[in-house]
Copies of this chain bind each other. A is one copy, B any other.
């Protein structure tokens, strides 16, 4: 069986998924839709798929699944439409910037028995997966503390900041999901400190660029997150899990790993400078997992509920900064 997919949204991340689909023998990209004809054409040319409208894709009974890479504010609507149309859905995070809207969307999904997988790609990174395996197999014992360091090479453009929903909904949301992936227990409270240290313009737009968080579970497990919109040395993505029997850590990845020794010391090149090169393997594995769930007819994971919880954690963080106290997360 070959799963026939349509891609909604032919931008940067759409291209990544199109490539992953092309390399997986179990899937075929049969259609692409985008408001910008040039973007759609680029993917159609590369993959040999047709350019279609969203309506056409929705109506086509031969299309099994859609991959939603359109702007955030269209996600909830598209999820609802394609869940109703009976198609398996892979949607980039977040469901919506508004928790209430996301919750309503999930109601629809549940009602119609929709299958939605959310694009928390980092769960599929081979290094983070291996760290999780060291938890699952008991190697490090009972999880006690998680440390997540997550820093972008540089701040996004102002236009993006404006519509991003802020650092917690846009950037930390990945770390919230990773925290849940590693803690093994739901997060009860969120504390956060945030500031504008990198670029005053970010502050003028009402956002922060530097944030530290403590997530605490009911039993007292703790997760510390350190975020910055700037890391001169590349895309800084590290996790560490401390347990009763030991720790496991996944260090940064670099495209080239030579070391040069001179009178000035030992130097290794910077890290990957972009999430697409850093998470290439994760993006491929993510689509593969989506295809797995379609083939097996099982619920995809991470689910839309996972997306909703991450969003609720982002909201709690925003509130925590404002009121200067720990916020109890509402699920």
Flag if B145 contacts A210 (CB, 8 Å): yes
Q: Which of A289-331 contact B (CB under 8 A)?
A: 323-326
Contact partners of A194 in chain B: CB under 8 A: 220
Q: Which residues of B contact A221 (CB under 8 A)?
A: 195, 197
Contact between A267 and B269, CB atoms less than 8 A apart: no
Q: Chain B residues with Cβ under 8 A from A189's Cβ?
A: 193, 324
Which B residues touch A172, using CB under 8 A? none
- Cα–Cα, bound, A34→B121 (Å): 40
Interface size on A, residues (CB 8 A): 73
CB of A270 closer than 8 Å to a CB of B: yes
Closest chain-B Cβ to A66's Cβ sits at a distance in Å of 25
Q: Decide: A261 near B244, CB < 8 A? Known: A198-B144, A220-B196.
A: no
Contacting residue for A145 out of B25, B142, B226, B249, CB 8 A: B226
A222 in contact with B244 given A214-B214, A265-B269 (CB within 8 Å): no
A262 touches B246 (CB 8 A): yes
A197 touches which one: B144, B236, B268 (CB < 8 A)? B144
How far is it, in angstroms, between the C-alpha of A249 and the C-alpha of B240 when the chains are bound? Answer: 16
Residue contact B224 to A226, C-beta cutoff 8 Å: yes
Would you mind naming 25 contact pairs between A and B with Cβ atoms under 8 Å apart?
A25-B46, A126-B255, A131-B258, A139-B262, A144-B210, A145-B210, A145-B226, A151-B242, A191-B191, A193-B214, A194-B220, A210-B220, A212-B214, A212-B222, A212-B223, A213-B214, A214-B224, A231-B261, A232-B245, A248-B258, A249-B258, A250-B257, A261-B270, A265-B269, A325-B326
7 nearest CB pairs, A to B: A195-B220, A325-B325, A246-B262, A233-B261, A212-B222, A324-B326, A232-B263
A residues lining the B interface (CB < 8 Å) = 25, 46, 126-127, 130-131, 134, 139-140, 142, 144-145, 147, 149, 151, 189, 191-198, 210-214, 216, 219-224, 226, 228, 230-233, 236, 242, 244-251, 253, 255-270, 323-326
Beyond A126-B256, A224-B224, list 6 extra A-B contacts (CB 8 Å): A25-B46, A145-B228, A211-B222, A249-B259, A265-B270, A266-B270
